[in-house]
Chain A
Amino acid sequence: MLELAGVSKSFGGLAVIRDLDLHVDDREILSVIGPNGAGKTTLFNLVTGVVAPDAGAIRLDGQDLAGRPAHEIAQAGISRTFQSIRLFLNMTVLENVMAATYAHTGARMWQSVLRTPAARREEAAVRAQAAEHLAFFGTRLQGYRWDQPAYSLSYANRRRLEIARAMATRPRVLLLDEPAAGMNPAETHEITELIARLRDEVGHTIAVIEHDMHVVEGISDRVVALDHGVKIAEGSFDEVAADTRVVEAYLGLRTAERK
């Protein structure tokens, strides 16, 4: 579904992604692992159009995305969460999710000002959709929390809200950048189940960057390991975890040799 072919990106003289081929299939959960600085977040930034690739093609269902404006890429069906959470802090929880429906709604300014029937219907529909996305997380983002500003949420709830917001853009591919970072063990466990439900119940295609190997093991259909912008291993979790180069990248050459 999502396909990268020969993608390269360097910042100044530093090659961050080198000739990378990658694909995410329909309704698959792909994990991207690698040490810090391996180029994982840059990979997401390339796919979502935050930065344009120097070379190579990024295709979503055959449609080339490379070099297109970020909002168009999002409208084409790619949504994401951020490693450092980036919510619309001073907007309410519900508004955060509703704002993300902009691209697939169409109320014009004058329609909203005049509150035409079409605008009202759409507003009600958007609200219902947002409520539905929030309900995905149980009672946590319910009730009075709808009208609370996003900054008042706890850390874990902010991560959840970011996922809900990403869901509201109606993505075909959902990119989750370290969804379990900073979570306690119970919350991490919950995130693992949640990502599986995102695929099984909602039907999303998902790429995850994650450092927590329990999470990676629990969710991945396939794992890709990056180091210095190069794909060093690909396969099932067990295959990748046993790969010498992966162990080497994480723990250094000598540990790898001892194994």
Chain B
Amino acid sequence: MTKIGTDEWVAQVGERTEAYRGLTAPVRRTWDGIPLGWRFAAAMLLVALLPVATDSSYVVRVGVNAFLFGLLALGLNVVVGYAGLLDLGYIAFYGFGAYTYALLSSDQIGVHLPAELTLIVVVALTAGLGYVLGLPSRRLLGDYLAIVTLFFGQVFVQLAIHLDRLSLPWADGPVNVTGGPNGIVGIDPIRLVGVTFSSVTDYFYLLLVAFVALAVGLHRLTASRTGRAWRALREDPLAAEQMGLPVNRLKLLAFAVGGAVAGFAGAVFAAVQVGVFPQNFETLLLIMIYAAVILGGAGSLPGVAIGAAVIAVFPEVLRTPDYARLIFYGVVLGGLVALLRPWSRLAAVLAGTVVLGFVVRFATAAAWPDAAAVAPGGLVARALGAWVATPPNATTVGNVAFVLLVPAVLAVTRLRGPARTWALPTVLYLAAFVWETRLVAEPSVTRQLVLGAILVVMMTARPQGLLGTPRVEML
């Protein structure tokens, strides 16, 4: 009989732990040695330099957007990532916050409260709304909660559209509350303790401060009594309840905190945009916020923040053909390098693709000397111009190729072994051709496609998200 409670494994853990190996080992060890707070501070310092480094207000505006996304994603992470409640009505809190700020700071109903007070009112009201919407949701689990909250989100948009002619018993005519489809315009800028936030750069720094405060606050909350209780609730509601955790109250608290964060973000959004419109709060935005949380890794604060930055910045970058090309070919190359082994196979596929390109290019150029396929651009575009095929009616051919590409990609995922190696160059070249003839010129379509493709690849390769930890559901 062994002595009770002894465990050799625990004593020997040092010997069993693997150390980093190879050339990158010192770098990785150093990186691990830097406390999370320092990394965060360094990242935020770099971001804070953005308005200094550029004089383009467009770039700063993208930064503002990224911060709004960041706030929303951090708030949603409390509800989804910590408490594990699938809330599809989250966008309603953002809209409610924005509309509340707009109503209290414009000529719509002739009220101009000081911003300090308005922001407090907005945060309190959205937290209250979270609480109220949480009430019927307490007993709903999983899918049921999702569908009910989705309905809440839709109701908000409908209310925003139709509350421009509200009949009240004491009023003579219909009362215009939300401005209907025209929204509310002419919203006061935020003015805190005598400082007016007038430019986009001002709001950039306001949001930077808010984001840092929220991230630090949530980081502390994660490891606190409340954070542990939320996570326990996510892991096993029944066991949590049996350990004395007031499950329903914790759910409502999570809804309220998430709602308050979204409400604050909405208020700032209303002030930055100087107007609010119903279409600002449609389901697409909700999907984007979810994409940010999922891409970054639900439950991981740095992950969610990075996810939000990626989701906010990517579509903007895709507007410029040259940047879009860098991303497209970068992602494709990166994917090939990550997935194809051994190296000789990777080299064969790449060489095959390049050679195939030149052959097709020369053949098409010889047959139709006048046609040009590649959208204009910088160095990359010129290099590609000598490689991508140039058929006449490039648009039509591109469309056909696009339709062919989808089954081709699906087919490649089904092929195994040498057949895949042989098929890959053709599919890759087809993809490049479709990209150059059709997609580069249409950023509005391409944005969604590329984002979708990135999400699909990402979720297949790393289901837990960029910085998320893989979760174990059952043993």
Contact = CB atoms under 8 A, between A and B. Distances in A.
Q: Judge: A and B partners, yes or no.
A: yes
A256 interface: no
Chain A, interface SS category: helix
Contact of B247 (A71, A91, A193): A71
B221 A139 contact: no
B107 interface: no
B49 interface: no
A99 B10 contact: no
A144 interface: yes
Given A115-B220, A139-B11, A151-B475, A102 B235 contact: no
A70 B243 CA distance: 9
Given A112-B221, A139-B5, A143-B13, A87 B245 contact: no
Interface stretch (B190-198, B403-411, B465-473): B465-473
Interface in B214-242: 217, 220-221, 224-229, 231-232, 235-236, 238-242
B234 to A, nearest CB: 8
B244 A186 contact: no
Interface stretch (A17-25, A32-40, A78-86, A230-238): A78-86
B236 A88 contact: yes
Contacts of B244: 71, 74-75, 79, 100, 102-104, 169
A113 B217 contact: yes
B235 A74 contact: no
Contacts of A194: 4
A87 B4 CA distance: 23
Contact of B10 (A89, A119, A142): A142
Contacts of A137: 5
Contacts of A139: 5-7, 10-11
> Binding site of B, secondary structure by majority: helix, strand, loop or mixed?
helix
A137 B7 CA distance: 10
A50 interface: yes
A190 B4 contact: yes
B238 A86 contact: yes
Given A90-B471, A102-B229, A140-B5, 11 more contacts: A69-B241, A71-B245, A87-B236, A99-B229, A113-B221, A122-B225, A137-B5, A139-B7, A149-B472, A169-B243, A190-B4
Interface of B: 1-2, 4-7, 10-11, 13, 217, 220-221, 224-229, 231-232, 235-236, 238-247, 253, 257, 469, 471-475
5 contacts: A69-B241, A88-B239, A90-B469, A99-B229, A151-B472
